[in-house]
Structure 1
Amino acid sequence: MNIILLYCRAGFEGECSQEIQEKASYAGVFGYCKTNKGQGFVEFVLTDAKDVKKVFKQVALNELIFTRQWARVNEPLENVSREDRVQPIIDFLLSSGQGVCGKVSVDCPDSEGTANLKTFARKFTAPISKALRNNGLLTPKQDPNLDVLCLFFSDFDKVYIGELDNKNSSPDHLGISRLKFPKGAPSRSTLKLEEAWRTFFHPDEWYDLLGGHQKAVDLGACPGGWTWQLVNQGMDVFSVDHGPMDDDLMKSGHVTHVLEDGFVYKPAKNVDWMVCDIVDKPKRVSSMIIDWLVGGYCTKTVFNLKLPMKKRYQEVQECLQLIQTALSENGQRCRIQAKHLYHDREEITCFIQVI
């Protein structure tokens, strides 16, 4: 397996490619990327399978902003018969000396025009699982201690065969959090904040970071999608926006609507959380984040950075470095994470905690 297959949002293959090449170079590994714009995945090709394992050992998936999921795979099987896809896969695995896996994941790109392919992948899981177990390639029950067999169909007759690392991959299928729109939330943007928390927090730290009746500020809050999430965690929230807030949310008794500019407002007393979904130039938002953290107005923040049309990866790196440098120069240790979430479009979501 000399290829790393990286799943990303369609249209962001270039940023995904830049990032993996940069991260791999820090590990002393060099390769080249193969991709087509809009296909929703990238092939990072290396000369040696040992280099692939080295990347997985030294680079964590949660360090990659534009990659949702990744797998170690072989060169794809092409022209697979649509009459019988099972046997060619079984034959390949047996001939390659593939060991037993604890689970199988039938994957495909999350891109435009793949709805039928997704339906096929879902239906194909049962017959391929049965065949794998019959040939001793899959445990009778799921075993989380073993790697996951990955079958990635980039088309109906083309499949990449490999594995998902059980310690360094997303537990979510395709790396996508499947969230239901919560009843009572005033806008779909609420899912961005919920996905951010689920992406950045370990379940064991959820209460420490969100519980205990904390105080929060939501900048650019209207109509209240992010405020709703904060209130749902038991927080009292100052929602800052000149626009109207959702009536039912205001009736909760936990929201104070502040009619001010989010870039100007500062709380009279320091709060635990500040969240921000204001659409503006990323460096302007970054400067505002620095003001809040260096000024001690909050210790935890989730915010979005709207990406420019060009040099998106470069802009992300510059913004995060700007924040990191400012906090370091102020003697503040911090935890910084960023991800291009499923519910994001032309932006990335960041989490910072001052430790």
Structure 2
Amino acid sequence: MPPQSLTARVGRWVWTCRAGFEPHLYEELAWAGAQPRPLGEALVESEGQQGLAPAFARLGFQVLASTSEEALEPLATLVADVVAALRPGSPLVLQAFTPDTPRGNALAPQAEALREAVRARLPAGRLLEDSERAREAGAQIVCLCVAPGLTVVGAVLAREALSLAAGGRQRMRRAGESPSRAAMKLEEALHGLAFEPGRGDVCVDLGAAPGGWTQRLVARGARVIAVDPARLMPELASNARVRHVQESAFAFAPEEPVDWLFCDMAWRPLEVAQLLAKWGRRGWASHLVANIKLPMKDKNPILLRVRHTLTTDGGWKGLTVRQLYHDRDEVTVTAHRV
């Protein structure tokens, strides 16, 4: 990593990531031939490519300007001039964020002050306040990344963005009754899908105990077959919409195909991928959401094999592989059968 943040090159792309995962993102981009360059903590720059969606990136945007200027007024004027030239008349979502690091997070007040100063300089009619509507509105997301010694201005079409959250940090609230952080991982994964399980859907939750994912699925009205030799929380074990099958996920087979397959097992990644591939190959589920734990080393080679196993061996379509905000040494995969 460079000792100080490097200036981003206009026209290239900047990717945000979890702190400590810059080498894995760099390697992934290098494998794609995107000529990566580390900019600083949690930031990697590269060439842009059609359809490039790195697993270890939270958000990517094309650089419009990059400066070491720190004074608010000239910086806000510079940013506003750059933003004003973006597709005149098209709606914009204005987001300011920092790298997700201790040094970066300390700059959050400056990032918010910049956002407000730029916002005051732009026509109110162009700004879309609800980022969740950005894709359907055909909006561009304007990214103001405030890093130590560096501010990068960029943009990405909402329909092509890896995330609609500022900096790709999709924070989910932890419900008071949730048994673990696992519930937030599932909420974030479902948040990124076009639709999610609901009333009447049948879901299988492999490795369900103590019940974090099962609980959130039941709250949506789904019926859940929770598979795990260990016990569930008492309130789930007695819930009429939950059937607890106390056996290994590797031994379980559904009596008939289900709507959704969920899996968050702390198990070896290639063996989990083979299990999920079996479900796809046999047509046991229509949709997949799973968390894959990663080894300390060789993360990208493992992910390459996981992708091959799920798509080539399992027949899963539309595969996405992302390290979400609530993921740690793991990635979340989603896919469907048809």
In which range does the TM-score fall when normalised by the shorter chain? 0.7 to 0.9
Question: Does structure 1 retain, via aligned residues, the 8 Å contact 2:227–2:244?
Answer: yes
Q: 2:238 aligns with which of 251, 275, 293?
A: 251
Cα separation, partners in 2 of 1:257 and 1:167, compared to 1, 3 Å: closer
Partner residue, 1:349: 332
Is 1:268 the counterpart of 2:255 in the alignment? Answer: yes
> What SS does structure 1 have at the residue aligned with 2:143?
strand
- Distance in 2 (CA, whole Å) between partners of 1:333 and 1:262 is 19
> What SS does structure 2 have at the residue aligned with 1:16?
helix
- Distance in 2 (CA, whole Å) between partners of 1:76 and 1:336 is 34
- Distance in 1 (CA, whole Å) between partners of 2:110 and 2:190 is 31
Q: 1:196 aligns with which of 189, 193, 207?
A: 189
Cα separation, partners in 2 of 1:301 and 1:164, compared to 1, 3 Å: closer
Q: Structure 1 length normalisation: TM-score?
A: 0.80
Question: Does structure 2 retain, via aligned residues, the 8 Å contact 1:177–1:195?
Answer: yes
Over the aligned positions, Cα root-mean-square deviation in angstroms equals 2.6
State which drifts further: 157-166 or 234-243. 157-166
Which protein shows a greater Rg? 1
Partner residue, 1:164: 156
State the 1:3 CA deviation: 2.5
- Distance in 1 (CA, whole Å) between partners of 2:240 and 2:83 is 63
Show the 5 A alignment for 1:326-341: 326-327=313-314, 332=315, 334-341=317-324
What is the identity, as a one-letter code, of the residue corresponding to 2:58?
R
Show the 5 A alignment for 1:1-355: 1-23=10-32, 25=33, 30-36=34-40, 39-44=41-46, 46=47, 52=48, 55=49, 58-59=50-51, 63-74=53-64, 76-78=66-68, 80-81=69-70, 84-91=71-78, 94=81, 98-99=85-86, 102-130=92-120, 132-133=121-122, 138-143=123-128, 145=138, 147-155=140-148, 157-169=149-161, 170-199=163-192, 201-202=193-194, 206=195, 210-327=197-314, 332=315, 334-355=317-338
Unaligned runs of 5+ in 1: 47-51
Deviation per residue, 1:160-217 (Å, 9 max, x gap):
1232334422321112223212343322211111211111x22xxx2xx523512222
State the 1:95 CA deviation: 8.6
- Distance in 2 (CA, whole Å) between partners of 1:261 and 1:338 is 25
State the 1:106 CA deviation: 1.8
Deviation per residue, 1:303-350 (Å, 9 max, x gap):
1111111121121011111221113xxxx5633222111111000011
State which drifts further: 254-263 or 142-151. 142-151
Question: Does structure 1 retain, via aligned residues, the 8 Å contact 2:29–2:35?
Answer: no
What is the identity, as a one-letter code, of the residue corresponding to 2:45?
E
Question: Does structure 2 retain, via aligned residues, the 8 Å contact 1:66–1:340?
Answer: yes
> What SS does structure 1 have at the residue aligned with 2:102?
coil
> What SS does structure 2 have at the residue aligned with 1:274?
strand
> What SS does structure 1 have at the residue aligned with 2:106?
helix
- Distance in 2 (CA, whole Å) between partners of 1:177 and 1:97 is 27
- Distance in 1 (CA, whole Å) between partners of 2:279 and 2:83 is 55
State the 1:298 CA deviation: 2.2
- Distance in 1 (CA, whole Å) between partners of 2:147 and 2:217 is 39
Cα separation, partners in 2 of 1:92 and 1:107, compared to 1, 3 Å: closer
State the 1:90 CA deviation: 1.7
- Distance in 1 (CA, whole Å) between partners of 2:297 and 2:280 is 28
Question: Does structure 2 retain, via aligned residues, the 8 Å contact 1:102–1:139?
Answer: no
- Distance in 2 (CA, whole Å) between partners of 1:241 and 1:230 is 16
How many aligned positions are there? 317
State the 1:145 CA deviation: 4.8
Sequence identity (%): 25
- Distance in 2 (CA, whole Å) between partners of 1:96 and 1:115 is 24
Q: Structure 2 length normalisation: TM-score?
A: 0.84
Deviation per residue, 1:44-63 (Å, 9 max, x gap):
2x5xxxxx5xx3xx225xx3
State the 1:68 CA deviation: 1.4
Partner residue, 1:49: none
> What SS does structure 2 have at the residue aligned with 1:182?
coil
Deviation per residue, 1:22-80 (Å, 9 max, x gap):
44x4xxxx5342245xx111122x5xxxxx5xx3xx225xx3322111121156312x3
Question: Does structure 2 retain, via aligned residues, the 8 Å contact 1:218–1:239?
Answer: yes
State the 1:282 CA deviation: 0.7
What is the identity, as a one-letter code, of the residue corresponding to 2:127?
Q
What is the identity, as a one-letter code, of the residue corresponding to 1:179?
M
Cα separation, partners in 2 of 1:72 and 1:87, compared to 1, 3 Å: same
Unaligned runs of 5+ in 2: 1-9, 129-136
